[in-house]
A and B are shown apart, each in its own frame.
Chain A
Amino acid sequence: MDRREAKDRALARYRQERDWFAFLLEAAGMMNTPEGQLQVKLLNILLDSKQKVVECVENDKPFIAAYFCTAPELFTAMDLPWFMIMETPFLGATAPYIMEDLQGAEEMGLGTDLCTAIRLPIYYIESGQMPVPSAVIGLLSPCDGTTMLQQILRHNKAWHNVPLFCPDPPYTSDERAIKYFAKELRQMVKFIEQHTGRKLDIDRLREVCEESNRSYALWQEYNELRRAVPCPHGWEIGGAQAFAVSQCFRAGDPRCTDWFRQLLECGEAKVKAGRGANDYVPEKIRLLWFDIMPYGWIFEFMPWLEQEWGAILVMDMFSNFPYTLIDTSSEETMFHDLAKRNLMDVPMIRQARGTAENFSSDIVRIVKDYKIDAVIWPGHMGHKDGAATAGIMRETCRGIGVPFLHIGLDLFDKRYTSVDEVKDKVSQFFTGMGLG
């Protein structure tokens, strides 16, 4: 295979994903509601970031592969296009080819007990279906699976010469840990500069962090609205989207702030009008879904929760707002606060990297603030780190008197536990707890 063919092959799936989102954009454009327009704005931001990566591959320009939790504000400040290695499971798991890809991963011999969020990128890398970047920022937390993903890169023929840097996350969450991780981020910047030719300008970083702060401040304000009874939005709007807009495409971009501003306006209008997540079913159960949403089968499950049970997803792990804003007064404070955010605040890393206490204390606070009636820990098969704390979560919920359900499923592959089985378990739970 010559270089051109390899490039085309690597871009085929990426382009297909871009086109899937372009299709969704077309559909969202037909929704003449403020929330529909929000979707349009989000998809435009997403498509633009994807298109930039495509252009980089086609024109041999530098771009990197990284993660949402590797301080994406730095990439924006360096004007460096990037994509998330786990982009498909996180953002594109609704795409129609996912089952085909999961099948492909199995045929490749990848174990079905391996987290699907990791299995899919391994499949794309091994089958040459992921764009090969100029450099990779790897991830060493929150689970062993992510570490293994880096090992795959080092053994893959197309990737093994791609420079790789993994900021080392300490286990603890004290000031010493933050300072250590800030140094790691500085090393990461040096590494990126060396391998992409882009330079970090501190004044530009300040601008980006200030823009990021504006986005985050609006997000926090919006999250207060989700405390309202009824909750103004459910699973579709505002929650996980806010995570994606703030961290997954181009962090610290005015378009993201604009999106949050409109989200807040939509939410405030609904709260003032006393309107809930949807007009066809009243809110009966306020849910905390304490993980990623089940993107592989979300359209088969989440609308059912609302229609069948009046169960509104008021909060989930990725919509939660434990963040603090970045102090932009100096280079040191910016790196310090970026380190804090990416080590201690961002979802999954926050919960599963360090002590199990974060699972417990987050649940207590969210249940109280958001008037949660039931907590669901989906028990994603890949979240073995979290599985070890299911007992702690259950005890915590017992202590505060809120029903807790641990299901056991795959958030991306509905063959693991069928959607009907999940629905049955949830129905039995709601009935047994007197919630429905």
Chain B
Amino acid sequence: MPTFDAQVSSVAEYVETLRALGRPTREFALPASVDGLREGLPVRVGAGANPKIILRGDTFVELGSPDAGSCAVVLWTETPSLIRDGTVTLIGPDVREAAGSSLPFGQIVLVGGTDLSAEEHQAIGQAQYVADQIEGYMVRSSSRNIWSRVSNEAATRGFSFETLGRSLMLIYKSSLPKVQAMEIVFVTSSRDDVLRLNDIARAVSDISMEIVKEHWKARGFDLECDLDCRSCHDKDVCDDVRKMIAARARKKNKAAAGQA
């Protein structure tokens, strides 16, 4: 099964690059346990914690809109030692420093667990879409990346990226017991900084698709057709079409040469 270990290293390099470029960087060390994570949260976390949707007029800050830029990556590894458990890194301004604005948003979630396997892959990916689980925080229903809102009320109560990181860790660790370690990186410094993540995101997406295909195959379902030309019943037709195209091109070139 393909793994994300190389991309985990790429994320560390990415953070170091931005640090070296002088981007303001903060680190928060959070407890490892679910109980420890729950303590000190200024908002409720869990199913139904955010029963209402956050309307435009109730929004304190918007994260990752198409104009501002967004990229979200979730990586998991069977080697938890690759991950600094409980660490939240914020590169760029925090929520309270961005009242009324629309921030670019990069979110990298790194998950480690010795028993993690393809079985958990989709659940790990889907858990970042928190739906109604964080009070005052709503991830919008966009199919790519994360575009989200923090409500005025949550901001008043002190909602920050430390809060968001703590909440995500709590959700992951309580819903996926095989998760042993978690690290999260948030990037809000600039659109360019966020979009630099796209290379990692593309590689992750390709690997992810392979894992999904293998996982469904193991359950007896083929996600895609066999597209190998050598086994296709229409190979002769395609070969003939190619020959005809080539013949026409030769004829056209010959005519053009004749005119010249």
Residues from chain B with Cβ under 8 Å of A100 in the complex: none
Residues from chain A with Cβ under 8 Å of B53 in the complex: 224-225, 227-228, 271
B233 touches A (CB below 8 Å) = no
- A364 and B66 in contact, given A220-B142, A271-B55, A357-B223 (Cβ under 8 angstroms): no
Bound CA span A365–B146, Å: 13
Residues from chain A with Cβ under 8 Å of B241 in the complex: none
- A221 and B56 in contact, given A171-B227, A174-B206 (Cβ under 8 angstroms): yes
Distance between A89 CB and nearest chain B CB, rounded to angstroms:
26
Distance between A271 CB and nearest chain B CB, rounded to angstroms:
7
Bound CA span A399–B221, Å: 15
Stretch at the interface among B99-107, B157-165, B208-216: B208-216
Mark out the residues of chain A between 346 and 386 whose CB falls within 8 Å of any chain B CB in the assembled complex.
354-357, 361-362, 364-366, 368-371
Which residue on A lies nearest to B147, using beta carbons? A220
Q: Is the Cβ of B132 less than 8 Å from the Cβ of A364?
A: no
B230 touches A (CB below 8 Å) = no
Q: Is the Cβ of A357 less than 8 Å from the Cβ of B141?
A: no
Residues from chain A with Cβ under 8 Å of B216 in the complex: 356-357, 392
Bound CA span A324–B126, Å: 19
Q: Is the Cβ of A395 less than 8 Å from the Cβ of B219?
A: yes
Residues from chain A with Cβ under 8 Å of B66 in the complex: 217, 324-325
Distance between B23 CB and nearest chain A CB, rounded to angstroms:
25
Distance between B218 CB and nearest chain A CB, rounded to angstroms:
12
B186 touches A (CB below 8 Å) = no
Mark out the residues of chain B between 55 and 98 whose CB falls within 8 Å of any chain A CB in the assembled complex.
55-56, 66
- A268 and B224 in contact, given A220-B140, A357-B212 (Cβ under 8 angstroms): no
Which residue on B lies nearest to A175, using beta carbons? B202
Per-residue A-contact encoding for B142-176, CB less than 8 Å = 1, 0 else: 11100000000000000000000000000000000
B36 touches A (CB below 8 Å) = no
Which residue on B lies nearest to A229, using beta carbons? B51
Mark out the residues of chain A between 216 and 236 whose CB falls within 8 Å of any chain B CB in the assembled complex.
217, 220-221, 223-225, 227-229
A322 touches B (CB below 8 Å) = yes
Checking B140, B143, B223 against A355 with a beta-carbon cut-off of 8 angstroms, the contacting residue is B223
Distance between B246 CB and nearest chain A CB, rounded to angstroms:
18
Distance between A339 CB and nearest chain B CB, rounded to angstroms:
15
- Residue from the set B55, B219, B225 with the largest chain A CB neighbour count within 10 Å: B55
Distance between B130 CB and nearest chain A CB, rounded to angstroms:
9
B10 touches A (CB below 8 Å) = no
Bound CA span A217–B102, Å: 15
Q: Is the Cβ of A364 less than 8 Å from the Cβ of B224?
A: no
Q: Is the Cβ of B221 less than 8 Å from the Cβ of A356?
A: yes
Q: Is the Cβ of B141 less than 8 Å from the Cβ of A224?
A: yes
Mark out the residues of chain B between 174 and 225 whose CB falls within 8 Å of any chain A CB in the assembled complex.
202, 206, 209, 212-213, 216, 219, 221-225
A391 touches B (CB below 8 Å) = yes
Bound CA span A362–B144, Å: 11
B17 touches A (CB below 8 Å) = no
B129 touches A (CB below 8 Å) = yes
Bound CA span A370–B143, Å: 13
A124 touches B (CB below 8 Å) = no
Q: Is the Cβ of A322 less than 8 Å from the Cβ of B143?
A: yes
Residues from chain A with Cβ under 8 Å of B138 in the complex: 224
Q: Is the Cβ of B143 less than 8 Å from the Cβ of A224?
A: no
Per-residue A-contact encoding for B97-136, CB less than 8 Å = 1, 0 else: 0000000000000000000000000100010010110000
- A371 and B126 in contact, given A220-B142, A223-B141, A355-B213 (Cβ under 8 angstroms): no
Q: Is the Cβ of B129 less than 8 Å from the Cβ of A368?
A: yes
Which residue on A lies nearest to B122, using beta carbons? A364
Distance between A395 CB and nearest chain B CB, rounded to angstroms:
7
Q: Is the Cβ of A354 less than 8 Å from the Cβ of B224?
A: yes
Residues from chain A with Cβ under 8 Å of B224 in the complex: 171, 354-356
Residues from chain B with Cβ under 8 Å of A364 in the complex: 122, 126
Distance between B147 CB and nearest chain A CB, rounded to angstroms:
9
A309 touches B (CB below 8 Å) = no
Distance between B92 CB and nearest chain A CB, rounded to angstroms:
22
Which residue on A lies nearest to B140, using beta carbons? A224
Which residue on A lies nearest to B208, using beta carbons? A357
Q: Is the Cβ of B221 less than 8 Å from the Cβ of A395?
A: yes
Which residue on B lies nearest to A370, using beta carbons? B141
Residues from chain B with Cβ under 8 Å of A362 in the complex: 143
Residues from chain A with Cβ under 8 Å of B132 in the complex: 371
A243 touches B (CB below 8 Å) = no
Distance between A436 CB and nearest chain B CB, rounded to angstroms:
22
Residues from chain B with Cβ under 8 Å of A391 in the complex: 221
Mark out the residues of chain A between 259 and 306 whose CB falls within 8 Å of any chain B CB in the assembled complex.
268, 271-272
Residues from chain B with Cβ under 8 Å of A217 in the complex: 66
Q: Is the Cβ of B143 less than 8 Å from the Cβ of A365?
A: yes
Residues from chain B with Cβ under 8 Å of A321 in the complex: 141-143
Q: Is the Cβ of B141 less than 8 Å from the Cβ of A369?
A: yes
Bound CA span A228–B132, Å: 10
Which residue on B lies nearest to A221, using beta carbons? B56
Distance between A187 CB and nearest chain B CB, rounded to angstroms:
15
Q: Is the Cβ of B129 less than 8 Å from the Cβ of A228?
A: no
Return 6 A-B CB contacts under 8 Å, by A number. A171-B227, A174-B206, A271-B53, A356-B216, A371-B132, A392-B221
Given contacts A271-B53, A357-B216, A370-B141, 5 further A-B contacts (CB under 8 A): A224-B138, A228-B52, A228-B53, A371-B132, A392-B216
Closest 9 CB pairs of A and B: A322-B143, A355-B224, A355-B223, A325-B66, A369-B141, A368-B131, A356-B223, A228-B53, A227-B53
A residues touching B (Cβ–Cβ < 8 Å)? 171, 174-175, 217, 220-221, 223-225, 227-229, 268, 271-272, 321-322, 324-325, 345, 354-357, 361-362, 364-366, 368-371, 391-392, 395, 399
